[in-house]
Amino acid sequence: MSKGIFIVVEQRDGKVQNVGLELIGEATRLKADLGDDVYAVLLGCGIEGEVNKLYHFGADKVILVDSDYLKNYVTEPYTKAVTEVVNKFDPEIMLFGASSIGRDLAPRVASRVKTGLVADTTGLRMAKTEQELQQEAAHGCKDPERALLMTRPAFGGNLLATLMCPRTKPQMATVRPGVMKKIDKDETRTGELIKLDVQFTPEDMNVEIIEAVKANKKMVDITEAKVLVSGGRGAGRDAYEMLRACADELGGEVSASRACVDDQACEWAKTEMQVGQTGKTVRPDLYLACGISGAIQHVAGMENSDLVIAINKNDTAPIFSVSDLGIVGDVKKILPKLTTALKKYNADKLV
Amino acid sequence: MKIIVCIKQVPDTVDVKIDPKTGNLIREGLPVIINPDDKAGIEAALAIKEQTGATIQVVSMGPPQADVALREALAMGCDEAVLISAREFGGSDTYATSGIIAAAIRKLGMPEILITGRQAIDGDTAQVGPQIGEKLHIPQVSYVEEIQEVTADHLIVKRQFEDGYHIIKIKTPCLLTAIGELAKPRYMTVSGIVEAYNKEIKVLGFEELKDDLELDMIGTKGSPTNVYQSFPKQLKAPGTVLKDMSDDELVAAIMAKLEEKHVI
Ligand SMILES: Cc1cc2nc3c(=O)[nH]c(=O)nc-3n(C[C@H](O)[C@H](O)[C@H](O)COP(=O)(O)OP(=O)(O)OC[C@H]3O[C@@H](n4cnc5c(N)ncnc54)[C@H](O)[C@@H]3O)c2cc1C
């Protein structure tokens, strides 16, 4: 019988990526209903030092495949290793991060082991209600109480669809980074390490990496920021100083809408700063939307923020329908005033 | 050299309207376009054609109306167009779709280079390309943002990651999935449009492909994933909107909110 919730943990340069820890967190929540162990599958070269971290964030067991073939991400060796994990352990559920690596690897694996795969999910739950169990059974599921329901945005975020994978195992999904929550780190937690020896051959390395380049600029990760001051077209092409000054007072970072990122003349807005369906999903404590209209594709990336405040001169801007506080006015006047007020507040707090 | 480009006709999702009662997509009058990543793939193929004299077959799976997208690709300069269409194929998920397209590609003859878009804007799955590659047993590079070298037996391409890039050498036959940055699509020419409408679009249906399909894994019934339900997105309840106040009052209101929520 298929058993276990398996997380294929992404690592880059030997460092476990956040999305892997987020998925382990989600797996511990699914475990509460399903009862199965949480397995973290870690692939790479010289990465055993990362194993303990996976226990600390909730993994019961770690399957480690350590090989020279896995030093850089290459589709075939990674696919072969994950396929071997599937064949050997027969997982009930297998999850990948929906990054540019997970989205390359997961479809290859799903096709090879002949199972379904749901992309870019934002919600996962075990089937529970009468209707859910009955629908699973009606679609040929033999063990509906072990069935996973996977929710994802469709049609540019206008619709949500919940999917099931009733007849084949593992039930597989990729999950967007930033959507699930890590559990609190517990350094006393340990687990069981399973080292898996995969027999790679030179033919598996069916492409040659001539050069691997890291973006050398120091990249700010907007998904990690507690506060985001986000600029849209309405903030203007020269808005950076204004946004940055406010973000500094709030201890936050600057993010942007796609309109700014796509605008060549808007130099400050870099791809990695884009929030939204085709950008990043963020959930900061405060999202301050400055001159952003609130298109559905933008909202898809920020609606889970704890507190949303929007400044927009148009009182019917859709961003107001997802804001806790809407401010109708000119951002170019209001934001500098807000920064001044924050400066004063911060200075007063010091004395 | 032969190149096959897979394209999909998609609704222009910016303009999508949802029926508030049924929660279904209102398809009526919805403009359709060639999926942007696929269109970048067509352009990249055309550039290779100009350089090497390759021929380009463009392939689309969809309803008969998808021939509009195929004709646009012909008008841009592709040589042949193939529509994969059958009632049996309707409702296929990505696994089923990739199996059908892979069968069609085998039928048409394996190309040296197979190009798909990274993802389609209506589904955003990014799965069909790699799944076709798997079913054809060819290597792949996805998220291709530049093709640097094309020879008869290999390509050198630039593969994008969130935090950098790889320069990769890959032997043909192979699959590339294109992202928008790969190429800026050209416009159709008037003579191209006229020619496109005189060309015949080859149709591959169920009969032509059935011997090469996993018959229990196609269409609505056979797809490994099924829709349980779909529903319009519920946005959170909107809060207060303050207007017709002075800038200073508005700033004070923001400060009060930040204090109330312990952001400051
Ligand atoms: C497939 C697809 C994917 C997409 N993905 C994303 C994505 O990931 N992220 C994203 O952001 N977008 C995305 N978009 C684009 C999205 O549809 C919108 O076009 C975009 O978000 C608009 O950005 P904006 O709000 O900055 O600009 P606009 O829509 O032009 O809005 C500018 C706003 O500023 C206000 N304004 C102007 N001047 C002032 C002023 N002085 N003071 C105050 N307010 C002012 C205006 O009232 C207006 O509301 C996507 C689109 C598609 C089709």
CB atoms A324 and B169 under 8 Å? no
Ligand 1: residues within 6 Å at CB? Answer: A 156, 232-234, 257-260, 274-279, 291-293, 295, 297-298, 301, 311-314, 317, 330-332; B 13-14, 121
Please list every residue in chain A whose beta carbon sits closer than 8 Å to the beta carbon of residue B231: 159-162
Pairing mode, strands A286-290 and A227-231: parallel
CA B215 to chain centre: 24
Residue range B87-98: average pLDDT? Answer: 95
Write out the DSSP string of A29-81. HHHHHH-PPEEEEEEESS-GGGHHHHHHTT-SEEEEEE-GGGSS--HHHHHHH
pLDDT score of A113 more than 60: yes
CB-CB contact of A250 with A270 (8 Å): no
Distance between Cα A256 and ligand 1 center (Å): 9
Work out the burial of residue A263: count CB atoms within 10 Å of its CB; fewer than 13 is exposed, 13-18 middle, 19 or more buried.
middle
Question: Sorting pLDDT into bands at 50, 70 and 90, what band is B250?
Answer: very high
* Cα–Cα distance measured from residue A271 to residue A260, given in angstroms and rounded to the nearest whole number: 9
Number of other CB atoms surrounding residue A121 within 10 Å: 24
Q: Which two tokens stand for residue B60?
A: 């689309």
Q: Percentage of chain A with pLDDT > 90?
A: 88
Distance between Cα A231 and ligand 1 center (Å): 9
Mean pLDDT, chain B, whole residue set: 92
Which residue from A106, A154, A160 is facing B123, i.e. has the nearest CB? A154
CB atoms A111 and B134 under 8 Å? yes
Q: Which two tokens stand for residue B61?
A: 């799976």
ipTM of the complex: 0.90
CATH number of this structure's domain A222-350: 3.40.50.1220
CB atoms B164 and A345 under 8 Å? no
Alpha-carbon gap: A314 to the closest alpha carbon of chain B (Å): 10
Residue pLDDT, tens place only, A2-30: 999 999 999 999 999 999 999 999 999 99
CB-CB contact of A280 with A178 (8 Å): yes
Please list every residue in chain A whose beta carbon sits closer than 8 Å to the beta carbon of residue B222: none
The pLDDT score that the predictor gives to residue B16 is 66
CATH class for the domain made up of A5-204 = alpha beta
Question: Which position has the higher pLDDT, A157 or B95?
Answer: B95
Residue pLDDT, tens place only, A151-192: 998 877 778 899 999 999 999 999 988 889 899 999 999 999
CB atoms B224 and A116 under 8 Å? yes
Residue pLDDT, tens place only, A29-77: 999 999 999 999 999 999 999 999 999 999 999 999 999 999 999 999 9
Distance between Cα B184 and ligand 1 center (Å): 22
The pLDDT score that the predictor gives to residue A160 is 87
CA A105 to chain centre: 16
Please list every residue in chain A whose beta carbon sits closer than 8 Å to the beta carbon of residue B25: 155, 158-159
Q: Tokens 């692939």 map to which residue?
A: A43
A&B contacts, CB < 8 Å? 249
Question: Sorting pLDDT into bands at 50, 70 and 90, what band is B18?
Answer: low
Work out the burial of residue A229: count CB atoms within 10 Å of its CB; fewer than 13 is exposed, 13-18 middle, 19 or more buried.
buried
φ and ψ of A171, to 5 deg: -80, 115
* Cα–Cα distance measured from residue B119 to residue B19, given in angstroms and rounded to the nearest whole number: 26
B244: Cβ contacts below 8 Å, ≥ 6 apart: A328
Q: Percentage of chain B with pLDDT > 70?
A: 94
- Sign of the torsion angle spanned by Cα atoms A305, A307, A312, A316: positive
Question: Which position has the higher pLDDT, A94 or B122?
Answer: A94
pLDDT score of B59 more than 90: yes
Residue A260 alpha carbon, nearest atom of ligand 1: 26
CB-CB contact of A30 with A123 (8 Å): no
Which residue from A110, A207, A213 is facing B95, i.e. has the nearest CB? A110
For ligand 1, mutation pick of A257, A262, A302, A323 (most atoms within 8 Å of CB) = A257
pTM: 0.84
Q: Which two tokens stand for residue A272?
A: 């990695």
Alpha-carbon gap: A192 to the closest alpha carbon of chain B (Å): 32
CB atoms A12 and B140 under 8 Å? no
* Cα–Cα distance measured from residue B221 to residue B218, given in angstroms and rounded to the nearest whole number: 7
Least confident of A98-112, A216-230, A308-322, B150-164: A216-230
* Cα–Cα distance measured from residue A288 to residue A334, given in angstroms and rounded to the nearest whole number: 12
Atom 53 of ligand 1, nearest CA residue = B14
CB atoms B257 and A12 under 8 Å? no
CB atoms A328 and B166 under 8 Å? no
- Domain A5-204 and domain A222-350, same fold? Reply is yes
Distance between Cα A234 and ligand 1 center (Å): 8
pLDDT score of B111 more than 80: yes
Least confident of A86-95, A219-228, A248-257, A296-305: A219-228
pLDDT score of B20 more than 90: no
Alpha-carbon gap: A183 to the closest alpha carbon of chain B (Å): 22
3-state SS, residue A195: strand
pLDDT score of A217 more than 60: no
CB-CB contact of B46 with B78 (8 Å): yes
* Cα–Cα distance measured from residue A192 to residue A55, given in angstroms and rounded to the nearest whole number: 9
Q: How far apart are the first and last CA of chain A?
A: 65
Question: Which position has the higher pLDDT, A84 or B124?
Answer: A84
Mean pLDDT, chain A, whole residue set: 95
The pLDDT score that the predictor gives to residue B28 is 73
Give the residue extent of every domain in chain A: 5-204, 222-350
The pLDDT score that the predictor gives to residue B12 is 81
**What b/e readout covers A78-96, taking b as 16+ CB neighbours within 10 angstroms?**
bbbbbbbbbeebebbbbbb
The pLDDT score that the predictor gives to residue A179 is 87
Could you give the strand order of the β-sheet that contains A148-154, starting from the edge strand earlier in sequence?
A: A123-126, A148-154, A159-164, B226-232
CATH class for the domain made up of B2-217 = alpha beta
Residue A257 alpha carbon, nearest atom of ligand 1: 11
